[in-house]
């Protein structure tokens, strides 16, 4: 297993490692130690975390080297949150290969439901085949709107689905938002404006740091959509918030 960083600090560390031959030996040795500790910490977290089910491992294998799918640790973290909150009805915005949806489905009772929004028909077909191979997968309902044009896909592909769910009177104990970053603010406003999240429910938003682009105010990313969304949420006094960082993601070759 090798690690691919989402964090600009880790990327800079990797760049510095390539230049360590220019450093005095004592500094180069210390740099080796720091880099080794980072890798050891991630490997340790992987080893200490409950091993994922064969079905989840199969989904990640199907996703290949894409970083868009949830990884082992994130999948188990979502499963833990769902279990802790005793959620029974879950909404996921952004399905991809269904790793996150399948992980959460493992934590809900037999009559629980994960409703997942996805726009790409080809992706839905691939994912549905994977999910149909296990009982837990049958708890997942994929919502796909086939009427979108490319322009709509690039703007707010899930908003109309959310509005339809609200019109039908649906509410969810747990919502996982992992979709297009341009539309996060619209999704958030719809979720709370239409009461899609049940009282005392939990909303989890993925990629809140987004390669450092949300907090790297000295760089060129101050106007990045993720940063704008985070600043919008932090002004919402009606919710309790916490940000959690994951340093790197595992990459299997």
CA gyration radius, the chain: 20
Query: Could you tell me the CATH number of the domain that includes residue 89?
Result: 3.40.50.150
Environment class of residue 246 by beta-carbon count within 10 Å: exposed (0-12), middle (13-18) or buried (19+)?
A: middle
Q: 217: which DSSP letter?
A: T
**pLDDT at residue 212 in the model:** 79
All residues at 6 or more sequence positions from 223 whose CB lies less than 8 Å from its CB, including other chains: none
Q: How far is Cα 179 from Cα 181, in angstroms, rounded to an integer?
A: 6
Residues 21 and 132 reside in one and the same domain? no
The residue among 127 and 157 whose pLDDT is bigger is 127
pLDDT digits (tens, 9 = 90+) for 195-235: 999 999 999 999 888 877 788 766 555 568 888 899 999 99
Query: pTM of the full predicted structure?
Result: 0.85
Range of the domain at 41: 7-48
Which whole number is the average pLDDT over 177-198?
Answer: 92
The residue among 66 and 155 whose pLDDT is bigger is 66
Is 84 part of any domain?
A: yes
- Average confidence score pLDDT of the chain: 84
Residues 105 and 38 reside in one and the same domain? no
Residues 172 and 58 reside in one and the same domain? yes
Whole-Å CA distances, 18 to 23, 31, 41, 155: 11, 11, 21, 40
């Amino acid at each position: 297993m090798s690690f691919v960083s989402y964090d600009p600090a880790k990327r800079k560390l990797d760049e510095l490692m390539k230049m360590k031959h220019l450093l005095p030996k004592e500094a180069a040795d210390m740099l080796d130690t720091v880099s080794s500790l980072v890798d050891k910490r991630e490997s340790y977290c992987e080893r200490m975390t409950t091993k994922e089910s064969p079905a989840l491992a199969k989904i990640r294998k199907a996703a290949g080297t894409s970083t868009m799918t949830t990884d082992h640790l994130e999948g188990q973290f979502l499963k833990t949150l769902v279990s802790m909150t005793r959620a029974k009805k879950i909404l996921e915005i952004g399905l991809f290969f269904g790793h996150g949806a399948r992980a959460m489905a493992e934590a809900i009772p037999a009559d629980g439901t994960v409703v997942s929004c996805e726009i790409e028909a080809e992706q839905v077909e691939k994912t549905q085949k994977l999910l149909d191979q296990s009982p837990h997968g049958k708890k997942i309902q994929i919502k796909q709107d086939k009427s979108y044009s490319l322009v709509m896909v690039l703007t707010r592909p899930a908003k109309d689905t959310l509005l339809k769910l609200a019109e039908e009177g649906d509410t969810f104990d747990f919502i996982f938002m992992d979709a297009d970053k341009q539309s996060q603010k619209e999704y958030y406003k719809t979720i709370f404006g239409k009461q899609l999240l049940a009282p005392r429910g939990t909303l989890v938003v993925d990629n809140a740091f987004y390669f450092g682009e949300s907090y790297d105010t000295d760089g060129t990313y101050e106007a990045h959509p993720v940063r704008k969304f985070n600043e919008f949420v932090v002004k919402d006094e009606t919710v309790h918030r916490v940000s959690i960082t994951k340093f790197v993601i595992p990459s299997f070759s």
